C-alpha cells in the first residue's frame, strides 16, 4: 500500500524562567515568551516541505477503485509511437485499471484497429480505424491536468519483462513552444527494454532535443541496480530532479546521472541556453510493445510467449523546490558519485565573411535533396567549360517538386546579409508563357521564409541573384536557426521540362 511521509513542524516550547534568566516585571510576575511564529506553508505545497526543501504538489497513490480522470487521460491511437511499435493504445479496462492500491498497465496479444494519428494531431478522429496493431496496451498522461516546470518527479513501480516489452515513465512539453519533436524536448525518467532476456537488467534515463529529424539528438545513461537486482523482480523508486539548467536521475535514492544546459539545445532558439527544458512538461506512463529499440537489444522481433505483461505502479508523486519555485534550485540531492553526461553542444555557426554551399560541388555540411508530389527532380554536375566549369544542373520531371541544399543541423546565420547564387535557364517549363521562379529558405517545419518570387531570366543567360537575409526574416525565416538556406523551383503546377543550372551558391556578410 502506498504511503506518503511528511516532515511535521516542531513548535518551540516556552521555558520557565530561572534565577539567572528570568524576565520579571516589578510586580513579581513572570512573563513567559509566546511561541515563535511558524512559517506559513507555501501555497503550492500540499504538505510541509521535506528536509531537502522539496514539498509535495501533486500525487496519485492509486488508492481508489478507478483511474482518476481528473489526473490522467488515456491516449487512444494505433500510430506505432513513431518507432514501429506493435501496440494500439486503448482506454479499455483490460489494458489499464486500479486494484490493490496499484495502477496496472497490461499489454495483451490481440489484433486491434484505431486512429492512425496521435491524439493531438489536428486531423485526429477517434472513430478512425485505419491504424492497426497486433497488441493492445495503455498510455496515460497528465497533460492539461498536471503540467510543471521544474521539480522532482518520482514513481515506485515493478517493470514488465520479456522480448519486446518497453515500459516508460517520461515527460513531454505541454505547449511545444519551440516546435515539433524533439525541438521542444523530451525527458525520459525511466525506460527499459527486454528485461531478463539474455540477462538484461538495465534501466535508462535520457534527454531528446536538438533539431528536426535527422538532426535530432539524444543523450543519456544506463543504470544497473546494485546487487544484481532486476527491475522486473520487485518494486523500485525512479525519479528525476529538474531545475533550471540541470536534470538529475535517481534509482532508490541513488543519484546516478546528471545532464546540464551545456549539453542540450534546441535549434529553434540557439541563443537560449536553457531551452528547450525551460517550459512546462507533463507526465506519461505507458507500456509499448516492440519497435526499433527493443528489436536492437538482445534479440530481434517480439516473443509472443512473453505476453501478456504488466507494468505495475505503486504511486506517482511530484515535488517542487520550496527554496525557489521559479528556478527549482536549492533542493538538489547527490552523493557525488554520478556520471556527468556531456550531452551534445549546438553546432557552431559558419565562420568567415562568406560560406560556400555549392561551387561545382556540394560543400559540407550541406547536401542536395529533392521533394516531389510525383515524378522526379533530377540533379547532376555537368561541365559547361569556360568561366563556369562544373555547375549543378536540375531537371524537373514533375509539376510539383523542389530542390534544396540542406544541412543536418541548423545554424545561426543572423550575421549574414545575403544569399547569393548564379542561375541559368536552359529550358523553360511546358507553359513558357506563364513561367515563374520561386526561392525560399527554411528553418525547420513549419518555420520558413515562405515563397520569395524571382524574375525568370532569359533562356541561356547567366544571372546573378542576391537575396537579402533581412527580407527573408521579415517573411518569417528565423535566421538564428537555418538548416535549409536554399530552395528553388519553377512555379507550382508549371514545372515539367524545366532545366536550370546553378553555381556559386553562398552566404555572404
Catalytically active residues, by annotation? 186, 191
Query: Does residue 333 sit in helix, strand or coil?
Result: coil
Q: CA-CA distance, 403 to 490, in Å (whole number)?
A: 10
Phi, psi of 260 (to 5 degrees): -125, 170
Helices (H) and strands (E) in the chain, counts: 2, 30
Q: CA-CA distance, 486 to 394, in Å (whole number)?
A: 14
Q: What per-residue string of b and e applies to 325-354 under the rule 16 or more CB within 10 Å gives b?
A: beebbebbeeeeebeebebbebbeebeeee
CB-based contact 333:241 (threshold 8 Å)? yes
CB-based contact 140:172 (threshold 8 Å)? no
Q: CA-CA distance, 345 to 341, in Å (whole number)?
A: 12
Taking alpha carbons only, the member of 389, 384, 405, 420 closest to residue 508 is 420
The grid cell for 383 is: 561541365
Q: CA-CA distance, 299 to 288, in Å (whole number)?
A: 16
Q: CA-CA distance, 175 to 242, in Å (whole number)?
A: 18
- The contacts of residue 37 (CB under 8 Å, 6+ apart) are none
Residue 42: Cβ within 10 Å count: 13
Residue 277: Cβ within 10 Å count: 27
**CA count, 13 A, side-chain hemisphere, 57:** 20
Beta-sheet pairing, 147-148 with 236-243 = unpaired
Q: CA-CA distance, 56 to 317, in Å (whole number)?
A: 7
Taking alpha carbons only, the member of 242, 263, 419 closest to residue 318 is 242
Amino acid at each position: 500500500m502506498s504511503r506518503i511521509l511528511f516532515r511535521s513542524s516542531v513548535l518551540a516550547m516556552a521555558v520557565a524562567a530561572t534565577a539567572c534568566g528570568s524576565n520579571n516585571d516589578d510586580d513579581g510576575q513572570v512573563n513567559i515568551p509566546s511561541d515563535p511564529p511558524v512559517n506559513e506553508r507555501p501555497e503550492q505545497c500540499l504538505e510541509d516541505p521535506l528536509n531537502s526543501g522539496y514539498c509535495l504538489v501533486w500525487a496519485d497513490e492509486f488508492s481508489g477503485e478507478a483511474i482518476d480522470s481528473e489526473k490522467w487521460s488515456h491516449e487512444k491511437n494505433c500510430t506505432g509511437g513513431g518507432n514501429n511499435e506493435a501496440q494500439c493504445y486503448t482506454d479499455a479496462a483490460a489494458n489499464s485499471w486500479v486494484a490493490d492500491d496499484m495502477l496496472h498497465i497490461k499489454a495483451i496479444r490481440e489484433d486491434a484497429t484505431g486512429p492512425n494519428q496521435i491524439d493531438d494531431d489536428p486531423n485526429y478522429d477517434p472513430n478512425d480505424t485505419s491504424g492497426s496493431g497486433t497488441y493492445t496496451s495503455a498510455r496515460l498522461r497528465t497533460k492539461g491536468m498536471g503540467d510543471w516546470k521544474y521539480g522532482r518527479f518520482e514513481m515506485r513501480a515493478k517493470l514488465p519483462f520479456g522480448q519486446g516489452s518497453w515500459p516508460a515513465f517520461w515527460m513531454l512539453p505541454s505547449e511545444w513552444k519551440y516546435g515539433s519533436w524533439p525541438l521542444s524536448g523530451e525527458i525520459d525518467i525511466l525506460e527499459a527494454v527486454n528485461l531478463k532476456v539474455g540477462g538484461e537488467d538495465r534501466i535508462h534515463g535520457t534527454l531528446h532535443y536538438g533539431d528536426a529529424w535527422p538532426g535530432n539528438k539524444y543523450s543519456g545513461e544506463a543504470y544497473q541496480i546494485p546487487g544484481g537486482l532486476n527491475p522486473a523482480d520487485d518494486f523500485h523508486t525512479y525519479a528525476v530532479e529538474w531545475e533550471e539548467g540541470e536534470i538529475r536521475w535517481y534509482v532508490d535514492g541513488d543519484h546516478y546521472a546528471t545532464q546540464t544546459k551545456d549539453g542540450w539545445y534546441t535549434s529553434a532558439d540557439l541563443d537560449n541556453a536553457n531551452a528547450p527544458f525551460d517550459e512546462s512538461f507533463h507526465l506519461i506512463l505507458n507500456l509499448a510493445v516492440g519497435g526499433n529499440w527493443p528489436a536492437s537489444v538482445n534479440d530481434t522481433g517480439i516473443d509472443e510467449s512473453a505476453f501478456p505483461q504488466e507494468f505495475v505502479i505503486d504511486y506517482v508523486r511530484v515535488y517542487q523546490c520550496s527554496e525557489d519555485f521559479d528556478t527549482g534550485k536549492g533542493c538538489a540531492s547527490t552523493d557525488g558519485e554520478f556520471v556527468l553526461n556531456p550531452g551534445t553542444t549546438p553546432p557552431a555557426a559558419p565562420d568567415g565573411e562568406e560560406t560556400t554551399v555549392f561551387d561545382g560541388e556540394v560543400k559540407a555540411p550541406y547536401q542536395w535533396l529533392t521533394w516531389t508530389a510525383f515524378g522526379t527532380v533530377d540533379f547532376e554536375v555537368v561541365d559547361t567549360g569556360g568561366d563556369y566549369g562544373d555547375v549543378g544542373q536540375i531537371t524537373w520531371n514533375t509539376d510539383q517538386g523542389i530542390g534544396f541544399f540542406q544541412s543536418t543541423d541548423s545554424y545561426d546565420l543572423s550575421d549574414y546579409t545575403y544569399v547569393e547564387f548564379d542561375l541559368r535557364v536552359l529550358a523553360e517549363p511546358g507553359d513558357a508563357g506563364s513561367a515563374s521562379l520561386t526561392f525560399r529558405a527554411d528553418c525547420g517545419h513549419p518555420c520558413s521564409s515562405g515563397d520569395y518570387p524571382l524574375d525568370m531570366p532569359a533562356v541561356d543567360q547567366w544571372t546573378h541573384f542576391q537575396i537579402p537575409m533581412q527580407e527573408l526574416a521579415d517573411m518569417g525565416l528565423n535566421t538564428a536557426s537555418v538548416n535549409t538556406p536554399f530552395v528553388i523551383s519553377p512555379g507550382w503546377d508549371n514545372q515539367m521540362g524545366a532545366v536550370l543550372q546553378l553555381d556559386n551558391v553562398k552566404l555572404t556578410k
